[in-house]
Every structure is written in structure tokens, then in C-alpha cells.
Chain A
Amino acid sequence: MANSANTNTVPKLYRSVIEDVINDVRDIFLDDGVDEQVLMELKTLWENKLMQSRAVDGFHSEEQQLLLQVQQQHQPQQQQHHHHHHHQQAQPQQTVPQQAQTQQVLIPASQQAAAPQVIVPDSKLIQHMNASNMSAAATAATLALPAGQLLQVVRAANGAQYIFQPQQSVVLQQQVIPQMQPGGVQAPVIQQVLAPLPGGISPQTGVIIQPQQILFTGNKTQVIPTTVAAPTPAQAQITATGQQQPQAQPAQQQAPLVLQVDGTGDTSSEEDEDEEEDYDDDEEEDKEKDGAEDGQVEEEPLNSEDDVSDEEGQELFDTENVVVCQYDKIHRSKNKWKFHLKDGIMNLNGRDYIFSKAIGDAEW
């Protein structure tokens, strides 16, 4: 247990900070008229991200995971589950522990009382993606409001795709279908299946994860991913059970609106997330196609030539090792520097460490 000293204290400290913050902001939330449920969601999101970052050894949020119905995504299972949910319409909060959890699939758990659902996007996915590939990783978060409004937020690590459509009386189900295989990461497919409530012919919105094309029609939505399956654009109801096959199924029907989000060539970082907006599809696609991608691609080689320093070598771990702290005393004698630091959090080689005091020497 030699290594456990720091690994033991860090998670505990983080948990205690989380608890403190959540408790302290509870009053603020209530003052603002925000439901306690939202506070719990914040806590869950927070803990999940911590866990996914693997910088800390998480434990506490496993319970939260159960509440969030984290699932592993496999197509058949997804269909089943989806089907199941679709029929029930009131999704019970069950965890469906699928097989080994290499991926996370979030399925909104909704209570029948008017409770908004929040799906935690997978930063783990993002991380996975980033770690192995720059292939498009997408996480979708959807909120299904009991009133029937749908908010869909889709975030992709690289190419953010975002479709937002308020619907009436639509049951929203979202699934994240990451197709991550060991040793390789495929673009995850995020599917949103909207099953309008009986009697509604409401248009459906589909959210597609893949950096591929999103076919967005008034009535049907289709995804045309290169590697990921496209959900069949059913008209009403069947979308839930639509086939989600991992293989590319370019089922193109009418395509009045074609949304293209190019993830593979996208060099922007994961911070480049599209915000929730009402979409002007045509504009967006033109802009994205012409402006962002090309510009970035062209700039990249130029910039990299200018770079003299050996930045590349340190990218190995995909983290810049950072220490944030306070200094007590910084001393220099000729080119010999001495550092007296305190109260710091370090992220080294991807892991988090904490110190109350740090003393260092360096030569410049």
C-alpha cells in the first residue's frame, strides 16, 4: 500500500469538497427557485465526470450511476431496451447492468411526476475518443420534459452536432451508443428516438452523433454515418425501435435539409461544443463546411512548422502536467531557483495529487 497514501486521500478530499459545495449551494438553488432535483443532477454530473477522468479513484458516484441508468451500449440490447422503454413510456429507474462497462450509455430516467430528465453526457467517451483517436465522439444529453417538450443537446468531442427541436407530446429517448471496442474506438452513435405519444403526429427530431451527415427532414430524421448505423426515420413511433445498426446504412430519403458535421477532419478541441440553439440548418452547414474545416486544416500544417519547441514529446499522456498552488517564497541565486509552495493540486501523468507544502529546486 505504499502508493496509496495519496490515492487514498485525494478521493476523500474531493468527496468532502463536493459535499460541502453541494450543501452550501442548496440554499442558493432554492432561493433561485430551482428544484432540488437539479442540485442532485449537478452532483451526479460532477461525480461522473470525476470518475470518468480517471484522475481520481471514484467510488461514491457508483450509486449515482445506478440512478442514472448507465448502460453499456450494444445494438441489440439497445433495441430491446429501447423498445422496452418505448412501450412503457414511463421509464422506470432501473439500472440495466449490461455487460462489462466499457462504454456508458445514459438513458434518461424519468419519473412520472414532472421531473426533467438529464442525461449525463459521457466525458468518458470523449476521453476515450481523444485518447485513442480523434474520431468523432459524441455525447448526447437530452432532456425530456413531461410536458412534452424536448430539448436535445448533443455534444461531440470533435464535431459537435446539435439538434434542437421543441416537440409537442413527444417522448424522448436518447441513447448513446458508443461503439468502443477494445483497442479501437469507433465513432459512437447517439441516437435519439422520438416516439410521439399516441395521437400525435409531431415531427421527430433525430440527433445523430456521428460526424457524418445528419439528414434532417421535417418528418423524418436520418443519420448517415459512415461507420455508424443510421436510425431509420420512422414516422411516428417506430423510431424507438428503429434499427440501429452499427453498420452504415445510408438510408436516404428526402433530404430537404442536410446537416453535415465533419468530425474526422475537425481539429478543434473538445471545448468546441456547439451550444443549444435553434438551428438554421443550411447556414450552419455551409458555414461549417466552408469556413471552419478548411481554415483549420490549412492552418494546422503552417503552425506546426513554426513550432520549434519539443511540444510533441510531452503529448504522450495527453495531459499537460499542471500544478496549481500558492507560493510562500520564490528564491533565485544566479540561475539556481528555489520554490516554496503550498496548498497545491497537481495533475501529473493524468492523475491528481495534492500537497500542503512543496519545496523544489531547479536550474534555469
Chain B
Amino acid sequence: MAYQLYRNTTLGNSLQESLDELIQSQQITPQLALQVLLQFDKAINSALAQRVRNRVNFRGSLNTYRFCDNVWTFVLNDVEFREVTELIKVDKVKIVACDGKRFF
């Protein structure tokens, strides 16, 4: 079982919405949709681990932090994300991070 963390991303949400539509039109069962999502979790986790190789730095001010059930949630303000190629500035960002060492 992989983290279900990535379901709330553009990719994950669009998949969930598509599955919902198919469920509503009764083309698939909810059980099947769940299977698809589980498969998606595996695929995205492994793709991120293996197919992505880039680094980002960021700096900002910490507004709130929370550590619960081994999940960190931060809200930062006035953050600059810096990649080799580009700089991205946002007023507020929420970071949700699961433990990277082990699934548990």
C-alpha cells in the first residue's frame, strides 16, 4: 500500500472526478473505482520516486505548523520557490508532508 497522499493533486483529483462520473453513469462500480485509485497511488508514488530528478529550494515565513499522525502540515507565507530555471513567489502555501522514511 502506498501513500494516498497524492490523490489531492491535479492529477489525482481529475482521476477521482472522472471515476465519479463513470460511477454516476453506472459504467463502473465504486469498488472498481477504488481499485483504480489504489493503482494510481502505486503508480504515482513510484513515478515520483524514480522518474523525477530535480531540486527546489524555498524560503518564507512560517505561519503555522502541525504534526499529527506522523504527518506534518505547514502553512507558510510570502514564500519564494526557487528552481534552477525559475522563481515562483506565492503569498501563502500549504505543505502537507508524510513520513518519507517508511510508509508507517
Question: What residues make up the interface of A, taking CB atoms closer than 8 Å to B?
Answer: 2-6, 9, 13-14, 16-18, 20-21, 24-25, 28-29, 32, 34, 38, 41-42, 45-46, 49-50, 53, 55-56, 116, 118, 120-121, 123, 141, 143, 151, 153, 275-276, 313-314, 316, 320-328, 330, 337, 339, 341-349, 352-364
Tell me if A357 and B43 are in contact (CB < 8 A).
no
Interface of A is mostly: mixed
Question: What residues make up the interface of B, taking CB atoms closer than 8 Å to A?
Answer: 3, 5-6, 8-11, 13-15, 17-19, 21-22, 24-29, 31-32, 35-36, 39-40, 42-45, 47-49, 51-63, 65, 67, 72, 74, 76, 79, 81, 83-86, 88, 90-101
Which residues of the other chain, B, contact A347 by a CB distance below 8 angstroms? 9-10
Tell me if A356 and B52 are in contact (CB < 8 A).
yes
24 interchain pairs, CB-CB under 8 A: A3-B85, A5-B54, A5-B83, A25-B35, A25-B36, A41-B27, A42-B22, A45-B17, A46-B14, A46-B18, A50-B10, A276-B24, A276-B26, A321-B90, A323-B97, A325-B5, A339-B58, A345-B11, A354-B54, A356-B55, A359-B56, A359-B58, A360-B58, A361-B58
Tell me if B52 and A343 are in contact (CB < 8 A).
yes
Tell me if A349 and B27 are in contact (CB < 8 A).
no
- Once the chains are docked, how many angstroms separate the CA of A361 from the CA of B57? 8
Closest CB of chain B to A311's CB: distance in Å? 9
- Once the chains are docked, how many angstroms separate the CA of A314 from the CA of B76? 12
- Once the chains are docked, how many angstroms separate the CA of A347 from the CA of B92? 12
Contact pick for B96, options A120, A324, A363, CB 8 Å: A324
Interface of B is mostly: mixed
Tell me if B43 and A21 are in contact (CB < 8 A).
yes
Contact pick for A355, options B27, B55, B62, B93, CB 8 Å: B55
Tell me if B93 and A24 are in contact (CB < 8 A).
no
Residue of B31, B95, B99 ringed by the most chain A CB atoms within 10 A: B95
Tell me if A348 and B57 are in contact (CB < 8 A).
no
